[in-house]
A and B are shown apart, each in its own frame.
Chain A
Amino acid sequence: MKIFMTSVLSAVMGALIGLGTIVVSDTSEAAWQPKKPVEFVIMAGKGGGADRLARFIQGIIEKNKLSSKPLVPINKGGGSGAEALQYLKSKKGDNHVIMATLNSYYTTPLRQKGLGVDIGSFTPIARMAEDTFQLWVHVDTGITNVKEYVAAVKKAGKKWKMGGTGKGAEDSLVTAMLEKKFGLGVTYVPYKGGGKVAKELIGKHINSTVNNPSEQVGFWDAGKSRPLASFTPKGKLKGKWGKIPTFEDLGHGADMVYYMQRSVVAPGGMSDDARDFYVDLFEKVYRSEEWQNYLVKKGLIPGWLTGEKLQKYFLEERSKHAKLLSK
């Protein structure tokens, strides 16, 4: 009886597998599927903006069952992402590793030449969005526009404290831009993560910040902080974020623009089939209702990019940052 059952079972299984192959060969796309859980490396520690975003993406994939095997987030935040970049380099040809990036993807290899990491050798998967920056003050400062801001900072001189997340970090580049444009000289105080920076502004331990929208939106809604201007091109932001003037709107030229890209990359030498699977997976995430709502709510700029175009974008941004850092 038992033998009979087993043989029936194996026959059914065999038939199913046969059927499976036929189906698969019919649709040549999406032929590759992950064979084990996929490592989703995050270039930052737990709890920061990049980490929250990566876990949000993982959440969308789980919730909508977009992948047959789960994505397992792994934080490798050491060395401003140096640890993650080295890890990705060591995983050459691995089809089960992907990484969520932010701008330290270019700045870290530029600043730490000893790493020997060339981002041009990695496989681009998808750009999910570009995050933006605004100039923020506490409402109690009474400052309502950039003009008043510049006057206040000039008066305070070095006593004016700008919060940020560290030398060479995105917000320090934006701060440097601001200082150069208006001839200011502020004291830049580094904190651990943008969320902490936002809290320090509300606690009045610092005078201004250049936070991402998602980090300040709660305080803005509660009437505690105020955005003065966006570091975006004219008309790019929508909804309530679009009502904040850009520096271009205010007549300070079109060069006061800075983005934080939110993308996904894979190690070099990943097979084309696997790459296509991930591109398809993240396109589904990108099109999901959750993602689209998140973009609007958190003031991110949609910007789907993949393949050669994305690689070109990365390399252009790298040379742009090389210039910014050399200043």
Chain B
Amino acid sequence: MEILGHLFDGFLISFEPLNLALVIFGAAIGLFIGAMPGLGSVNGVAILLPMTFLVPPTSAVIFLGAIYYGAMYGGAISSIMLGIPGASTAVATTFDGRPLAMKGEADRALVAAATASFIGGTISVILFTAFAPPLAEVALAFGPPEEFALMMLAFATFIGLGGDDIPKTLFSILIGLVLSAVGLDIVSGEPRLIFMDLPGFMHGINFLVLAIGIYGIGEMLWTVELSKGEVMISQATISVRRVFDSLRELLKTWKTMLMGSFLGYFVGILPAAGATPGSLMAYGFAKTIAKDPDSFGKGNVDGVVAPEAANNAASTGSMLPMLTLGIPGSPTTAILLGGMVIWGLEPGPLLFVEHTEFVWGLIASLYSANLFALLINIAFIPAFIWVLKLPFTVLAPIIFMLCIIGGYVPTLDMHDVWLMLVFGVVGYLMRKLDYPLAPAVLAIVLGPLAERSLRQSLIGSQGDVMIFFERPISGTILIIALLLFVLPAVRVFRQRSHNPNLA
């Protein structure tokens, strides 16, 4: 009951005219920032942070929270429409969102993304409201062995990601892992895999550079080849009836939505993970539990729903360690944390006690930010569809330009732009040879996290591998992961016994 009382007070705060205006304004800005390739919630929050000195801290964090949420919605837009991930959190949305758009069902994908974002966001805020303090304990219980086990679980779902060609999937994962090792050794600090001594490799290979290269540039080359210079116009339509039809169809994906929301929220809580791994893992799990895993990557709505529910849920989840432990759960919350210091607030275990107005104002505003982001997003879908109707000869240069901007903005380094072009060509060739690309993208995101937690665990245990199995949480997760590794083999075996002709 105490919680409901706090929440009610929070709603009173979030419905003050100034705060309500900031929520709507923030959600709209976030939507735009998320939709621009290369600009994600990190950039949005960092750029607008200085503006927040004009308002009280509670309004400031409400504004930035709304931007964060809006960006999670917006990221899906360019992933679906243009095949360029709008933000790192929306890369997994590209996997099935883009094929749907190519089939002329962009409106369905957009509605699915917006709805899933709303559900993911809402479920996670409810979880946040009810269970913030106990979940903070969960985050604390997660040490390096548990993190490593979780990463293994994610890798296990990859094997299912690449379709039936397991050797090609493994190859793709390994390429991703090698690329993820570029930069500085995390323990000794020595540079490693600095190709041709280029200083640009010192900061490692930015995952967005790979994703925009493969999906943006690679996709464009692919379409150019398909169209052979002819003017191509995507079939894209939108009508109120179609929107309602899509909504009705979405009811079937409720399981995926719930799974994505819970998984995303949980991954978001863990410090250092955040929305990008969360959305990728949700995609992998959705595929693993699906009845028709083969249709993933070819335009399955579940493949849009899972990552979109997860990335919104994770963005709420990552606020939990920020507020209760003072540790950012994602790069964006790291910037928010900086903001809190400037506003004179001390994040940590005492924040919930000493600044109830701030905490509950923020939580309540997340409910309304979610709602407004959904409404704004749905209202703009016809405008997005109109963009798709442009001839490809007009769209291609725009996509190309957006890719270049997207590659340059995160690090302001031309090195990354060249690298992105290389990845574009390589991605195109891999696609021609029928190599799955998603596992490589997943590996470059999770590789550093897995490596770090593996080495930390083993240093701590003096090299004893049993540490992963002795601890209850990591032991359980690892065993599930091992079972999942074996699952595709079982499936292949079963298919063959059902269908002897295939063997």
Give me the interface of A with B, judged by CB distance under 8 Å.
Answer: 46-47, 51-52, 55-56, 58-60, 62-63, 70, 73-74, 76-80, 82-83, 86, 111-112, 158-159, 161, 166-169, 187-192, 195-196, 198-200, 202-203, 205-206, 217-219, 221-222, 224, 290, 294
Contacts and interface: CB of A to CB of B under 8 A. Distances in A.
Contacts of A167: 187-189
A78 B460 contact: no
A83 B203 CA distance: 7
Given A47-B334, A55-B49, A203-B140, A218 B189 contact: no
A189 B334 CA distance: 23
Interface string B182-204: 01101111010000000100111
Query: Which applies to chain B's interface (DSSP): helix, strand, loop or mixed?
Result: helix
Contact of A190 (B141, B183, B186, B335): B186
> Which of B42, B348, B459 is most buried by chain A, counting CB atoms within 10 A of its CB?
B348
Contacts of B342: 55-56, 59-60, 63, 290
Given A79-B184, A167-B188, A218-B326, A224 B203 contact: no
B104 to A, nearest CB: 40
Interface string B349-373: 1110000000000000000000000
Which of A111, A192, A290 neighbours the largest number of chain B CB atoms within 10 Å of its CB? Answer: A192
Contacts of B144: 189, 205
Nearest to B183: A78
Contact of A192 (B272, B337, B349): B272
B327 A195 contact: yes
B337 A47 contact: yes
A200 B338 contact: no
B303 to A, nearest CB: 30
A273 to B, nearest CB: 26
Nearest to A74: B412
A195 B199 contact: no
B203 A161 contact: no
Given A46-B335, A59-B50, A79-B202, 18 more contacts: A46-B334, A59-B49, A59-B53, A63-B53, A78-B184, A79-B183, A111-B189, A166-B189, A168-B189, A187-B462, A189-B460, A190-B186, A190-B187, A195-B271, A199-B139, A199-B140, A203-B141, A218-B348
A292 B139 CA distance: 34
Interface of B: 42, 46, 49-50, 53, 139-144, 183-184, 186-189, 191, 199, 202-204, 271-272, 321, 325-328, 331, 334-335, 337-339, 341-342, 346-351, 412, 452, 456, 459-460, 462
Contacts of B183: 78-79
A205 B460 contact: yes
Contacts of B202: 78-79, 82-83
Contacts of B350: 218, 221-222
B50 to A, nearest CB: 4
Given A47-B331, A59-B53, A219 B142 contact: no
Given A196-B327, A218-B348, A219-B349, A203 B460 contact: no
Contacts of B139: 199, 203
A196 B272 contact: yes
Contacts of A192: 186, 272, 452
Nearest to A115: B199
Nearest to B54: A63
